[in-house]
Structure formats: C-alpha cells, structure tokens
Structure 1
Amino acid sequence: MASNSSLVGSDLMQQQIKAIIVQMLVMIFLCINLLLIITFYTKECFYTTPRYILFAVTLLSDSLLLFMSDVLLMFTYFYLTMQVWLCIIISFPVLLYLVVTPVTLTAMTLERYVAIFMPLRHGELCSTRNTMYCILIIHGLSSVPCIVVLCTLFASASLSFYNQYRLCSVEIFILHRWQDHVRSAVHQFYFLIMCIIIIFSYVKIMKVARAAAGEDKKSTWKGLRTVLLHGFQLLLCLIQLWCPFIEAAVLQINFRIFLDVRYFNYIMFSLAPRCLSPLIYGLRDEAFFHALKNYVSFGRYKRNI
C-alpha cells in the first residue's frame, strides 16, 4: 500500500511540474504576442500592408489557440470532466484555429510569390480590401475540417450522448471508425495542398533570391535562413494536423501513455511553431523590430535614432 501511494504521489508531482512548465511557456508566448499585436496597431503602414495584416491574424489565432488548448490540456491532466455539448462549444474554436495558422502562412507565401513574380499587379491583387476578403476565405477554408468532424458526430450520436460527462478532447467526437477515416481524409487533403503550394512557391522564390543576390553571399544566406525558418514552422503546424490520429491510437493502448504523448505533442507542435511567428515575422523584420523597440522604450529609441 505504501509503495502504491508513493507511486500515486510521484505521478501527481510529475503532473504538477508539467502543468507549471506549460503555464509558464503559455504565459510567456501570450505576453510576447500581445506586445506584438499592440505594436501592429501603432503604425498605419502595418495595418494597411497585407503581409503585416496576415501576420497579425497569425498572432491572434495563435494566442486564442494557446489559451483554449491550454485550458483543455489542464482539464485532461487533472481529470476534470464536462458535458459533451459544452465540450463541443469549447472545442470548435480550437479545431478552427488549429488550421487557421498554417492556411494563413500559406497565404503569406502566396503574397510573397505575387510580390516577386507579379510586382506590377501586387498593389491591385494584395490591396487592403482584398486582404480582408482573403482573411474571410482563410477562416472559411479552415472551418471545413471542424464542420466535417462535428457533422459526422451529429449524424451518429444520440441525444443522450450530449449530456454525458467526459474528458474534453477531440477523441470523444469519434464514435465510429468511418468518422476517423473521413477526418483523416480531410486533413491529408489539406496537408497535401499546403505542402504543394509552399514547396512550389519557395523553390521559385529561392531561385530568384539567389539570382538577385549574385555574389552577395550574406544576403543569400539571410534569405535562405528565413525560408528555412518559415518552412520549419509550417512543417510543425502541418504535423500538428496528424497529432489527433496518433493520440487516438495511443489512447486505445494506455491512458497514461496518452497523457505523455499529448503533452509532448502540445509542446512540440502547438507551442514551438507559435513561438517562431514572433521570431520570423516580428523580430527579424527591420521595420517591425524598430517599431517594437520604440514602443518598449516609450519613444526614447526613436529620439535616439
């Protein structure tokens, strides 16, 4: 009995340590994102430029996703259950913004492609109004996987199911094997399309970048590093689309392993790509970095320049 109680105490301590680590990371990233969002609204050139508008969309979607997914993660770790209908309401924005970020990053890739290969039409195609339409299209496309999951649930679940108390996770929405196949097909289709667009665009962009740089190796390497960081972030975001399938398979084997796998996936494929957005599009962008530095220093940085 003593050994069993010590094991339970050890597991509880590990969960508490993991929970504290997650809360610290989430708070840090949310504070950074909030600072960047405030900086975005300090200059008119930011909220009238398509590239920065899409960057702000990723910051907002990442912040909401981090907060909501962190709440669900804590509910899972401390075995807090809720009624299924409430879980559906909470899970909808999580499922939506899980896809919004990679789709937005793909749109940013296309915007760079248009800027390089169609410079004369860039102002027309990437106007502020068209960017607003693009954001609506991004959210429309991103909602399709979520709607598919929920529609398959509504078509197969009984009314009594929505009043049951369960641990809130996407896995409880999958009642039959065919639902898992449908969800997998939709995510694989999105995965394939985004990969094709990103690879095609960046291969073409890098050819132009290398040719334009000429003997300027430093400029070429800087462009290459940006592309590699952007590609790595998108890869992590796209891998995240596969995490529910891995977690569902592990859940059938062992619940404790499921918790560990979910924790690892959350750190690697939810937190990690979200912390890359401020680095790639905030700190590495000269205009945005100067505006951020000026805001943090309460205007003293601008006067010094």
Structure 2
Amino acid sequence: MSQFNITFGLGIVETVMFSTMSTLPCCVFLFINGTMLFTLRSKSVFRETSRYVLLYNLLFADTVLLVQGQLLYIIAACRVMLTYPVCGVLTMLSSLTTVISPLTLVVMSLERYVAVCYPLRHATIITIRNTGLAIVVVWAFSSLNVLIRVLLLLDFPFEDLQSLQMKEFCSTENMLLGTMSDDYNKVFTYFLFILACVAIISSYIGVVVAARSASTDKASVRKARNTLLLHLVQLGLSLSSAIYNPLLIVISKVLHKIVLVRIQIVVYVCVVIFPRCLSAFIYGIRDQTIRPIFICHLCCQLKLSVIAAKAVVSVQDLWKAS
C-alpha cells in the first residue's frame, strides 16, 4: 500500500475499525464488479460487440488490481513481512494491471471517436478481430513493462543481503530497489498518463468538431462526448492513485505519523478502491443495453446471498439445538 507502517501507533480497536472500513467497501465493489463481469459474458450481444469486450478487459484488470491491493493492505495490517520474491510477484501483478486500465481507456476512447466521426466505416474498422488484436497489444505492452522492471530488479545485489526477508511492508515503492528502478518507474508513469491524456482529449476534440456537422447524429455525439469526459475522469483518478504515495511522503514531513496513517487509510478507500468500481457504475447505469440485465443479475445474486445467509443461520440453530 505504501512505505508507511499502517499500524504504527494505532490500537487494536482502531486498527480493526480502519481495516473494516477498507475491507467492507472492497468486498461490495468486488461483488458489483463480479456481477458486471458475469453480465458481460451472459449474452452474445455483449461478447460480439467491441466496446463491451473492451469494457470486460477494463473491469477484469481493475478487479484483479483491487484484489491485489486489498491483499497487500491486509498483510500490512496484520504486520506480516514478506520475502522479496513473494512481494516481487505481487507487485509485478499490480504493475501489469495498473498499465492495462489506462491503455484500455485509450482504446475505448478511440472506438467512440471512430463511431462518431466515421460511422459508415465503424463496422469495418472496429471488428471483434481488431478489438482482440488491440487487447493483445495492450497486454503485450504491459507485460513488456513488467519484464523491464524484473530485469532492473535482478540487477540489485541480493547476495549482499543477510536475508531475503523484507524489513518493510510489501509495496510497489519498497520494491523499487536502486535508483534505476525508481527513475524508470517515474518516467514510465509520466509517459503513460501523458499519452493517455493526449489520446482521450484528442478524441474528445474530434467528437466536438464532428458535432458541428449537420449530418451527424446529435444524440450519438452528445452521448459519446459524455462518455469521453467520464473516461478522462477515470484516467485522472487512476493518476491520483499513482501519485498519492509521493504526496503522502511530502505530507509526512508536516503531520504526526498517527494522523498521517488515519489520513492515508481514508485516501486509500477514496482514491484506490473506489475508482476500481467506477466503470461498473458508469456502464451499469448509463448503458441502456446493460442496465436491465445488470440490475436483474445484481438483484438475483443479492437474493441468493440472503437465502444462503438464512440457511447458514438455520443450520447453526439446529446444531445448537442438537
């Protein structure tokens, strides 16, 4: 989560309270994301439409990142120190999915741009085959980033360490061993988000220019423009989750550590956990094709959860009675 000791100076009651405050919304968002992922695989229209395939890829990456981030949080809250190899695997998985999200947003923005500006060619350009190829490129680019990070990590002289046991909590920042790894992380992060911002803003400008054409469907343009703005908000939230650790380091020079820990946990929920569920909310509520099916599946799963909970209580009561 970060290089600060998240349990430093906190009592058991306060630690449990803050852990619950982060774990509970995480479980709720995982439930919502899981329902949306199931919805996107339940109908052929979703599996055969490019923007829904891209949405599935985005949600999958966000869900994996949410699970991985919460796992590291729980490990740190339990004061468990991992070894460098185990922490390296977890953080490299985080690096992989962190890059996939903004790149997928770029592809989704370009798809909306083509749909509005080139409506007659949209069906020939944005095909399932081309969409699958774009997803492969996104994963390949993300994997290349992970490979470079691993090579930089292997350059660190681990043989000089007395033990592979970490002295800090496992986090991406604590795995940036050496100045080269740190510099590469900063340069790549800046490059990634500048590239994504330029692509999304350019798509938005193209849609706005297309709106002036008399032959363009105004309702379609307005919807695409709003979608691109939401993509820009999603990208901004992803950027804020990438820079909030350095921000906390700056704040730590002013605030007391206990106050910093409390602020850090609140920021973690708002900036890291919440954005990972934003895509499900945006498309689950705004998209008229997904909304009725998503709500139906969500309600059905809630009913099944309630029935299962009642069944567990009934079994416990019978066990006590016997």
Q: How many Å apart are 1:263 and its aligned residue?
A: 2.5
**Contact kept in structure 2, 1:250 and 1:257, CA below 8 Å:** no
TM-aligned CA distance change 1:34 to 1:186, over 3 Å: same
Q: How many Å apart are 1:84 and its aligned residue?
A: 0.8
What letter is aligned with 2:125? L
**Contact kept in structure 2, 1:51 and 1:111, CA below 8 Å:** yes
| 1:242 counterpart = 2:243 | yes
Q: Secondary structure at the match of 1:81?
A: coil
**Contact kept in structure 1, 2:41 and 2:47, CA below 8 Å:** yes
| 1:140 counterpart = 2:177 | no
| 1:13 counterpart = 2:13 | yes
CA distance in structure 1 between the aligned counterparts of 2:80 and 2:107, rounded to whole angstroms = 38
CA distance in structure 1 between the aligned counterparts of 2:122 and 2:236, rounded to whole angstroms = 27
Task: Choose from 155, 173, 176 the match for 1:174.
Answer: 176
What letter is aligned with 1:238? L
TM-aligned CA distance change 1:280 to 1:263, over 3 Å: same
Q: How many Å apart are 1:113 and its aligned residue?
A: 1.1
Q: Deviations over 1:167-191 (max 9, x none)?
A: 2111222233343222111111111
Structure 1 match to 2:55: 55
Structure 2 match to 1:36: 36
Q: Which moved more, 1:19-28 or 1:73-82?
A: 73-82
**Contact kept in structure 2, 1:65 and 1:97, CA below 8 Å:** yes
Percent sequence identity is 27
**Contact kept in structure 1, 2:117 and 2:206, CA below 8 Å:** no
Q: Deviations over 1:81-130 (max 9, x none)?
A: 11111111122211111121111111100111122222233222221122
Greater helix share, structure number: 1
**Contact kept in structure 1, 2:207 and 2:225, CA below 8 Å:** no
Higher relative contact order (CA 8 A, sep 6+): 2
Q: What is the RMSD of the two structures over their aligned residues, measured on CA atoms?
A: 3.0
Structure 1 match to 2:166: 165
Q: Secondary structure at the match of 2:45?
A: coil
**Contact kept in structure 2, 1:84 and 1:164, CA below 8 Å:** yes
Q: How many Å apart are 1:34 and its aligned residue?
A: 1.1
Structure 2 match to 1:186: 188
Structure 2 match to 1:5: none
Unpaired segments ≥5 residues, structure 2? 1-7, 301-322
What letter is aligned with 2:166? Y
CA distance in structure 2 between the aligned counterparts of 1:176 and 1:133, rounded to whole angstroms = 35
What letter is aligned with 1:284? R
Q: Deviations over 1:220-253 (max 9, x none)?
A: 8766544433321121112223234445666799
Q: Deviations over 1:37-76 (max 9, x none)?
A: 1111221110111100011111111111111110101112
Q: How many Å apart are 1:260 and its aligned residue?
A: 4.4
What letter is aligned with 1:229? L
Q: How many Å apart are 1:205 and its aligned residue?
A: 1.4
TM-aligned CA distance change 1:10 to 1:257, over 3 Å: closer
How many equivalent pairs are there? Answer: 290
TM-aligned CA distance change 1:236 to 1:261, over 3 Å: same
Unpaired segments ≥5 residues, structure 1? 1-7, 299-305
CA distance in structure 2 between the aligned counterparts of 1:271 and 1:57, rounded to whole angstroms = 18
CA distance in structure 2 between the aligned counterparts of 1:157 and 1:229, rounded to whole angstroms = 44
| 1:274 counterpart = 2:276 | yes
CA distance in structure 2 between the aligned counterparts of 1:176 and 1:251, rounded to whole angstroms = 22
TM-aligned CA distance change 1:131 to 1:219, over 3 Å: closer
What letter is aligned with 1:290? P
What letter is aligned with 1:21? M
TM-aligned CA distance change 1:134 to 1:56, over 3 Å: same
Q: Secondary structure at the match of 1:165?
A: coil
Structure 1 match to 2:202: 200
CA distance in structure 2 between the aligned counterparts of 1:34 and 1:210, rounded to whole angstroms = 40
Structure 1 match to 2:231: 230
CA distance in structure 2 between the aligned counterparts of 1:10 and 1:237, rounded to whole angstroms = 29
Structure 2 length-normalised TM: 0.79
